[in-house]
Amino acid sequence: MGTITYVSLEGDESIHPQYEEGLARAEELLGKTHPLYIGGREAFAGETFTVTSPIDRRLVIGTFQRAGAGLAGAAVDAADGAFEAWRSRPWEERTVIMDEAADRLEASLFLLAALITLESGKPRGEAIAEVGEAIELFRYNARQMWEQNGFVRQMPASTPAQPHTSVMRPYGVWAVISPFNFPLMLAAGAASSAIMTGNTVVLKPTSAAPLTAVHLYHVLAAGVPNGVVNLITGPGEPFGDAIVGSPKVAGIAFTGSRAVGMRLQREFAASQPYPKPIVLEMGSKNPCIVTAHADLAKAVEGVTRGAFGATGQKCSATSRVYIHESVFDAFAGALTQRVQEISAGDPRIRETFMGPLIDERAAARFRAAAEETRAVGGMVLCGGDFIHGGILDEGYYPQATVVTGIPGTHRLMKEELFVPFVILAPYTTLEEALERANDTEYGLTAGIFTEDPAEADEFFEQIRFGVCYANRKGGATTGGWPGAQSFGGWKASGATGKGVGGPYYLLNYMHEQAQTRL
């Protein structure tokens, strides 16, 4: 089968029978009650909550513990108690352990992909690739540890008698808070990186999609001492209250909305006795520029995949497209035609490209965007409604939506929507397009389509985003991959400037100790 990526699966017939087998196994796991895991032991709260599938709200994913602040605090205590022994393990041993975890992920690839489909509604191709990305991240980070000698470096001596060493050391207990849209990758990326570098972890997945995280916990816990990784489920507020004020928490890794991320940052800073690290990934409003020198067929395909892959529910989704006025009509017409060909529906079906929205709140955002487009005099070129019939009536299945005529200052041009909704706008000069693309507080991903190398050079020089693409047919603003295209945002999209899957990401979870021995 070879390396699995987001663009390598097309034409690979071998994945489908394996996915179907994984789906059958995953469906057998549904409907069970799941405990918390604290210090290597099962724990139970006084209350539980039930999660249903966005595919069909009659399908019960499972019942999970509604942990309060007390159990969250117990998980922090367990992680703190395991830290000294774990950080003292040679980095070589920790790296081998995480490499073995990658093998366990790979052995469960299609089961995990099916679980992702069932609890987040992600179609099979994207779900399989998400597991492949997590596997590759584990292995890439392991290679980084070996290549960097565990981040231990001999420094030049200031005098012949004063040798110096730079050593990166773990911080301690990390709280990892993960979202629904990449329930494996975004939990595994932060948790495995923290653990590999000698930290311990309390993992708190979103309540919308906790089952994949339960299986990730078992993958990680199988190779480490009790307490190195702990799993808490339940509402965000009790957990957040427990971690932001705990002196035992050394750092927070959060992926989710800007509002929640910024609140965490403020509260963590205010409640701790000294500054502590926080790794934030908080979404974006991602632009793409289509110039007069673009290959329009390539641009149409790239925007289609970038805007509507994963039903637009990813922080890298293409949401604003600026098209040179000379090719605007041609591009808009071709894009509308291509988007109307998208197969939307049950993501368990092989042909499905676009599945359901995660919940009613997402559906409300989608409805509001379509209504506001019409209210401001914009034009809905295609989509703007939901699809119905049979099982589709048991979830929220939106049409892929393309609109134009939205004022540049309108909130639809400024706010992340997290739905399959893309806005087209004409421009006159590349300078104007770049200025409008940069006119946002976000800064995660951006793309351009042009066959003119000078235009591409100008784009990369002037764009103020962390992950940038030129002429990417597989996704105009999507496609990060460990060891190839790191993934991290600028401005309101991220906090550290060190993208996951890149050569600097592990440094987020360590601080430097300079040593001089005489």
* φ and ψ of 500, to 5 deg: -65, 140
Listed residue (220, 225, 276, 247) closest to 101, CA to CA:
220
Q: Is 315 a catalytic residue?
A: yes
Q: Are strands 48-52 and 60-65 parallel, antiparallel or unpaired?
A: antiparallel
| Rounded Cα distance, 497 and 488, in Å | 6
Phi and psi at residue 85, to the nearest 5°: -65, -40
**Token pair belonging to 304:** 């289609």
Q: Give the C-alpha separation, 74 to 165, whole Å.
A: 37
- Give 346-371 as a DSSP string: -TTSTT-SB---SSHHHHHHHHHHHH
Catalytic one among 281, 301, 416, 455? 281
Question: Strand 467-470 to strand 152-159: parallel, antiparallel, or no bridges (unpaired)?
Answer: unpaired
Cα 34 to the center of its chain, rounded Å: 24
47 is annotated as an active-site residue: no
- 254 forms bridges with which residues in the sheet? 177, 280
- Which of 133, 136, 288, 315 is an active site residue? 315
- Reference 5, options 115, 155, 130, 177; nearest CA is 130
**Which stretches within 108-171 are classed as H helix?**
109-120, 124-147
Pairing of strands 41-43, 36-38: antiparallel
Are 486 and 497 spatial neighbours (Cβ–Cβ below 8 Å)?
no
**For residues 87 and 170, is the Cβ–Cβ distance under 8 A?**
yes
Structure tokens at 393: 């009536």
Distance (Å, whole) CA 172 – CA 169:
9
What amino acid is encoded at 351 in this protein? E
* Active site residues per annotation: 281, 315
